[in-house]
A and B are shown apart, each in its own frame.
Chain A
Amino acid sequence: MTPTVLAQGPRTRQALVLVAGNPNSGKSTVFNALSGARTRVANYPGVTIERRSATVALGGGTSIELTDLPGTYSLSARSREEQIAVESLLGRGPRRPDAILVVADATALARALYLTLEILEIGRPVVIALNMTDEAAREGISIDAARLERLTGARVVPTVASKGVGTAALKAALAEAVRTQALPQRPEVTRPPALQADLAELEAQILAERLMDRPEEARVWAQWLLLSLDHDGADELTGIPATIREAVHRIHQRGAEAGRNMDLEIIGARYALVDRLMGEVCEAPAAKRKSWTDRLDAVLTHKVGGALAFAAVMMVVFQALFSWSEPAIAAIEDAIAAVQSWVGGVMPAGPLTSLIIDGVIAGVGNVVVFVPQIALLFLFIGLLEDLGYLARAAFVIDRVMRAVGLHGKAFVPMLSGFSCAVPAVMATRTLESRTDRLLTMLVLPLTSCSARLPVYVLVTATVFGPGASVGFLSAGAVALFSMYALSVVAALVAAAVLRRTVLKGPVPALVLELPPYRMPVLRVLLRGVWQRVKTFLVDAGTVILALTIVLWALLSYPKSDVVAAQAEAERAAVAAASLADEDREARQAEIDSRESGAQLRNSVAGRIGRLMEPVIAPLGFDWRIGVGILGAFAAREVFVGTLGVVFDISDADETNEPLREVLRRATWPDGAPLMTPLAGISLMVFFVLACQCMSTVAVVKRESGGWRWPLFMVAYMTVLAYTASLLVYQVGSRLGWGLG
């Protein structure tokens, strides 16, 4: 991940316009309407908040740099992400904005005006896009835009961005704001005298310490600091000088001693002005008409209907991830295999060919194979979000999720985890609080993803014969069900434990807007999906590719000349012998399998497996299973193939009977059987709980903005998996289970 610097360089000197607005205000739609298809997506330096920007031609030779800020209800902040929005607006970033565009939802104008007042205080030219005026009109709300313009000192442009209404007028207003830099008289918020004195004191200190040079911005920053800073380490804000923190602490203490509620003073003063403005510009019917949203909500959040609708929607999403993505995934896998065999045909056998086929092409395949699921999941999330249902889903399920400290919105990512953790981790972006996001992505890989299924199938089929049963159920079915149950319980318990330890702190409150149901704009939706896929390919993809090559090297080197020479001699002998063609081919294939097995056993991974044996033997695994576990880090289902190679079986998959037979006959050096039912259960438990997936690690690294959390995740999951398997195998052995 390469952090992109905010500034485009002095070379262009394009005017910078920031786009701010509440979530669900149609901000993305306005941004898209203005920018067309030329959007660039990057990350803000050091954090994983997406920064979308575009160069927009406004006509008459003027063009601007338009940058989208994260959607916020206010400028106060607890998190790094919110701080970014504020600091960009205040010009604490590399560049001060030349104008600010505020997107306001005309149906919820009061709340939009609160943010608008905060932004007006900054003292930059402001243009307000009064969006969704059609919807407001349908509700009988009439807004006097000209009067709002006079009272706020900002240009007001009514828009219906989803239909492109008002885009031209908006461009003209932006061009004028950027050109004239006019700062008309803006409305004055009336603050209590005590608060004014506090602000003046802090402002003076900010200016004296030369942290800012414009008094207006210093005043805004002072207010922001008073509202945002905490003194118990609860805020995540960085880069605030200790002297300023001390000053704020002093002012807070003084206020508390005087019995003042400073947060209410600051917020209340703004809302008093909002109420006054609303009285002057907005006329709404006294009794709200029954809207489509009310009628739909009567069903979709109803006690019975709501639960049924929720279950139905989630089933469709899950079905799509699990089954609908299947043909695309199969096609990608076939294409990769075709390319591999083509390269194998045209290039001479050797280390370079092996690197290209099993390292590079396999690595690209490992990346691209996730695209169908990522695209489908984000298509559904985008659709549900734009329709307005995603918030209702969180509303319906929050009570259940809260029990383990998770947010209602964490349900969709957790559910997606049963298909694949990679898109699911990316889906945690729908959560606003960083703590909620981290908690969800750290426990999500415990949900039993579809790549674990081949491992369960191989192991159950190997250790439980077709006749084995528990009551009237087959032993395999019971084992499979138990693994899924274990994964759910483990994820929920892990969430509860992490919330009380590593991610300690008050459970973030649920303050969730339930936006009106709306028709999504297809263009905006598809562009969002494409941006997610692109981000994944570029950021997580490079890590996955690199790890695939490293893993290939570990499993391939060093090569043993002795093994190769022996296999060559055997092949020559078979070629010389007088045999039927079929027999000769069979013998050759057998030699090939034995050679790859011997080479793998001799490789670094093979040696690590052997070194690991004392550590994993107490779990019931010998070194060959250890090599399989190492190979499975590429992707869990690779376990089956790697195990096949270790046991000299070529082209093994989970339904491969020869592999099952070989595993059943495999023994420890002392002759004791290796794959007892107990060892099989221990192995499956290990696969449920261990973070056996480098792609998950790569995507968590991307989404958490560093290596710290993915490494923590691998560590805690490995400890958990090891301990659980150890318990299963040791307790089971003592009790005399699974020896037969």
Chain B
Amino acid sequence: MHHHRPLARVPVGSTAIVSRVSGTRSVVRRLMEMGLVPGTPVTVQRTAPLGDPVELRVRNYALSIRRADALGIEVE
């Protein structure tokens, strides 16, 4: 049940808990500073009309990031 998967695979409307953030240092740092640290619940709200980027709901605000960057966010 508690398997890890990238956030990009979480279906729209579902909520998961961040377990790890990896990738380019500057991107990872910015994502963590925006509140995506391990242990934080995050909901995939919707995707843009062309399928990318995605809109997340985290810490009661809406954040949009590209799928490529969402691949580095692991959730459980």
Contacts and interface: CB of A to CB of B under 8 A. Distances in A.
A91 interface: no
Given A78-B26, A263-B25, A301-B46, A395 B53 contact: yes
Contacts of B69: 509-511
A398 B66 contact: yes
Contacts of A111: 34-35, 59, 61
How would you classify the secondary structure of chain B's contact residues: helix, strand, loop or mixed?
Answer: mixed
Interface in B18-76: 21, 24-35, 37-38, 40, 46, 48-53, 55, 57, 59-66, 69
A50 interface: no
A76 B59 contact: no
Interface string A487-519: 000000000000000000010011111111000
B49 A514 contact: no
Given A76-B29, A509-B24, A513-B63, 15 more contacts: A78-B26, A267-B32, A267-B33, A268-B37, A293-B62, A301-B48, A304-B49, A395-B53, A396-B49, A399-B53, A506-B24, A506-B26, A509-B30, A509-B65, A514-B63
A121 interface: no
12 contacts: A73-B33, A73-B34, A76-B33, A263-B29, A271-B35, A288-B60, A399-B53, A402-B52, A402-B66, A510-B53, A513-B34, A513-B61
Report the 10 A-B pairs with minimum CB-CB distance, sorted nearest first.
A399-B50, A514-B62, A108-B61, A74-B33, A110-B59, A509-B27, A267-B32, A306-B49, A303-B49, A512-B64
Interface residues of A, number: 47
Contacts of B35: 110-111, 114, 271
Interface in A366-419: 391, 395-396, 398-400, 402, 408
Interface string B7-27: 000000000000001001111
A91 to B, nearest CB: 23
A195 to B, nearest CB: 15
Nearest to B31: A511
Contact of A284 (B27, B33, B38, B60): B60
A234 interface: yes
B64 A510 contact: yes
A234 B27 CA distance: 12
A399 B63 CA distance: 16
A162 interface: no
Contacts of A512: 53, 63-65
B46 to A, nearest CB: 6
Contacts of A516: 62
Given A399-B50, A510-B65, A267 B37 contact: yes
Nearest to A228: B29
A408 B32 CA distance: 22
A399 B26 CA distance: 21
A179 interface: no
A134 interface: no
Nearest to B65: A511
Interface of B: 21, 24-35, 37-38, 40, 46, 48-53, 55, 57, 59-66, 69
Contacts of A704: none
B32 A263 contact: yes
A264 B59 contact: no
A230 B25 contact: yes
A6 interface: no
Contacts, number: 121
B57 to A, nearest CB: 8
Contacts of B21: 264
A395 B52 CA distance: 8
A391 B61 CA distance: 13
Interface in A257-300: 263-264, 267-268, 271, 284, 288, 293, 297
B50 A400 contact: yes
A301 B62 CA distance: 13
A688 B51 CA distance: 34
A391 B53 CA distance: 12
A652 interface: no
A398 B64 CA distance: 11
B55 A514 contact: yes
A302 interface: yes
A395 B59 contact: no
Contacts of A108: 59-61
A545 to B, nearest CB: 41
Nearest to A274: B35
A373 B49 CA distance: 31
A307 to B, nearest CB: 5
B72 to A, nearest CB: 10
A107 interface: yes
A227 interface: yes
Contacts of A268: 32, 37-38
Given A73-B33, A76-B29, A267-B33, A395 B64 contact: yes
A105 B32 CA distance: 19
A455 to B, nearest CB: 36
A270 B37 CA distance: 10
Contacts of A78: 26
Contacts of A110: 35, 59-60
B52 A301 contact: no
Q: Which of B29, B55, B63: most chain A CB closer than 10 A? A: B29
A532 to B, nearest CB: 26
A511 B34 contact: yes
Contacts of A402: 52, 66
Contacts of A230: 25-26
A245 B52 CA distance: 38
Contact of A511 (B27, B49, B52, B61): B27
Contacts of B59: 108, 110-111
A298 to B, nearest CB: 8
A307 B48 CA distance: 10
